[in-house]
Structure 1
Amino acid sequence: MFSYDLQSKKTQQLSNELFAINYIGPTTKTGPIILSAVKKGERVLKTVLYDKQNHKLEFMDDKDLDSNTWAVSYNTEANKTYLARFSENEREKQRNISNKQQKAMVPPDYTVVELNNETKQERPIISLKKEQIISLSSTGNQLFLITSPSINRPPIEYSLVDSKTGERRKLDLPISSRSDVYLSHDAKGIYYLGSTSKQDFNKGRGIYYYDFATKKIEPVFLQENGFINNFMLVSRE
């Protein structure tokens, strides 16, 4: 992991203990950087906190060699982090079944947990049976989930989950994005990378805002002379 200073234009290496990094997310100015990463010599994605002041990595549940942290979302209002996890052993079991039967792979169970960034305590929010959580985003007490009953196959489903009660409400949205979808800070809509066409993902590709109430899609930033691979919605504070 590296940092780049926009003013001094200097690059600094922050870590060398990691084999792979799946996700990097900022929190507060003095708070940790949250990662989903694989430690050297291991294979599961761990939840990792990087202390910017002491320049140290803290591996959550470091002895757990089964739980994969697949998706991560930091909640600015609550100063909490939401994690989507699954069992590596269960995934391997489902993969073997899929290979033997020559059928689409069924996902392992996924669980969303709430991590208190100060106390490091975790609280389970919701568990999904044989349903993959591809991505998640959070604002206030709302979680936005992108899920699928299959691995790397349609359909894609969207849901809102109340982080206090775990109640889930599925949404019918006119988009087909599998990632780079973020709940707005007022939870009244989503920002997403994709297009206005549910059939053609690359038609008018760019960043859009979809309003839950009006059901209207508004362009925010369209790619013209290039290709947008990823984007992140962050707080101004």
Structure 2
Amino acid sequence: MKKQLKTLISLLLIFVLLIACSSKEVISEDKNIQNNSPDVNSEVKITKPVADYITMSYSEYATTNENGEIKTQILSYDTSTKKLEKIFEFDYTAQYPLGYYDKTNQLVYYTQRVGADQEYGDQIFVRDLSSNKSTQLTDNLFAVNYVIPSGDQLFFAANVKGEQVVRLGAINLKTKKMELWGDNDTIIEAITVDHSNKKIYISAYSLKQRNYSLAHQDGPAGQNNFKMPTHTVYETDFDFKEKRKLFSKNYWIRMLMHKEGHVIAFSDKEYNKGQIPSTVIDYDLADRSTDVSQWEAVRLQRGDANYSRDGNKIYAIAIVKNKRGLYEYDVRTKKFTPIFTPEDGFINNIQVVNGS
């Protein structure tokens, strides 16, 4: 199990170096999957749940046999009832399986590998929990970093087959049309979606600059002489018609969050320096100013942390007292409360869904 977890952890950086490794044969979870023929409900509700909830994907061995198959579960945590519920389970075949539970519409979005040999890729599926049928939504992706539905659109960040970069994408769940944001020199590192104001915030950097930095690591041997490429945070609308540059830093802007009128970026000078406090950049959208500070609490892991609706809590993946899991962080008291800290298995990703 330990070996598998180390592999999973290394795959967290799959798009930092744009390397993806997997040798598993794809196993279709459900015979009702309709390749290339999406059949999502024509009317997707936009109403919000009453209370905040956290949707997460969690992988573990299906049996105690560490050579056996691994299953990924979609879990949901209700912040009002404190109830953690298993929603759906599927085969671990993707390079890094992701999932999102849409409670309002009783849909689950998830990723699985499709194809074999050199032709494989991770694709996005949707499961209708009322009919227990799955539908394949994409056929041209190689690896996926984010899957976030909003109303009648599904947003994702992924590497498209034949490209070297990571693009922001959107699928119109009514027309089945896909739109892509970015170009062949823009690698998307992180995104966060503001559902209420229909905005998407993106951390991205240049592929050419990254490659140049890799090829010109001058300095004493044995040291990390890699020069971090400039990361820029952008704002775009749900139609991808706007592109507003917010700010740029020579930091690894690895995670974005948002709360009323603000975009918060967690950034590091180097990759994976967990012992060094992250730099937090708080960008005020109204006056276009930035406030920079050091994060003084336990490091928040990559995994799509975000604020509660009232802005008083942050839900995030963290390691507290050597236990990795999902935690609630109180902004005022600066205390962590464990929600789900499994002894076995691995939380792949989370998304915070704000209530009304």
> More deviation in 213-222 or 73-82?
213-222
- Aligned equivalents of 1:118, 1:207: Cα separation in 2: 32
Distance 1:183 1:234, change over 3 A: same
| Conserved 8 A contact 2:300-2:318 | yes
Please list every run of 5 or more consecutive structure 2 residues that lacks an aligned counterpart in the other structure.
Answer: 1-123
Is 2:189 aligned against 1:96? Answer: no
AA matched with 1:148: D
Residue deviations 1:68-123 (CA, integer Å, cap 9, x gap): 11111001232100001100000011111237864322210011011111462111
Count residues with an aligned counterpart: 227
**Alignment of 1:137 onto 2:260:** no
Task: State how far apart, in whole Å, the 2-side matches of 1:188 and 1:163 are.
Answer: 19
In structure 2, how many angstroms separate the alpha carbons of the residues matched to 1:98 and 1:65?
24
What displacement does 1:153 show?
3.0
1:196 and 2:320 are equivalent in the alignment: yes
Aligned-CA RMSD value: 2.1
The aligned residue for residue 126 of structure 1 is 247
**Quick check: 2:233–2:247 contact (8 Å CA) kept in 1?**
yes
**Counterpart among 170, 177, 182 of residue 306 in structure 2:** 182
1:208 counterpart residue number:
327
SS at match of 1:228: strand
Which residue in the other structure is 1:46 paired with? 167
The answer on whether the counterparts of 2:277 and 2:294 sit within 8 Å (CA) in structure 1 is no
Shift of 1:22: 1.9
Q: Distance in 2 between the 1:178 and 1:119 partners?
A: 28
The 2-side partners of 1:109 and 1:225 are apart by 37
2:208 aligned counterpart, secondary structure: helix
Tell me whether 1:81 sits opposite 2:173 in the alignment.
no
Change (3 A) 1:19 1:224: closer
Contact 2:277 2:295 in 1 (8 A): no
Matched letter for residue 72 of structure 1 = I
Match of 1:162 in 2: 284
Give the counterpart of 1:8 among 126, 131, 134: 131
* Deviation at residue 221 of structure 1 after TM alignment: 3.0
Letter in 2 for 1:110: H
The CA deviation at 1:12 is 0.6
Q: Structure 1 stretch 188-197 or stretch 76-85: which is displaced more?
A: 188-197
User: Can you give the 5+ residue segments of structure 1 that lack an aligned partner in the other structure?
Assistant: none
Contact 2:166/2:188 (<8 A) preserved: yes
TM-score (norm 2): 0.59
**Distance across 1 between alignment mates of 2:190 and 2:213:** 20
Residues 1:40 and 1:195: Cα distance change in structure 2 (over 3 Å): closer
**Structure with max Cα Rg:** 2
Q: In structure 2, the residue corresponding to 1:89 is in which secondary structure?
A: helix
8 Å CA contact retained: 1:146, 1:157: yes
* Counterpart residue identity of residue 196, structure 1: V
| Distance change >3 Å, CA 100–CA 93, structure 1 → 2 | farther
Per-residue CA distance 1:37-75 (angstroms, 9 max, x = gap): 1222111111111111111211124xx211111111001
Letter in 2 for 1:208: Y
Residue 216 of structure 1: how far off its partner (Å): 2.2
**CA distance, structure 2, for counterparts of residue 206 and residue 152 of structure 1:** 18
- Determine if the alignment matches structure 1 residue 146 to structure 2 residue 288: no
Give the structure, 1 or 2, with the largest relative contact order (CA under 8 Å, sep 6 or more).
Answer: 2
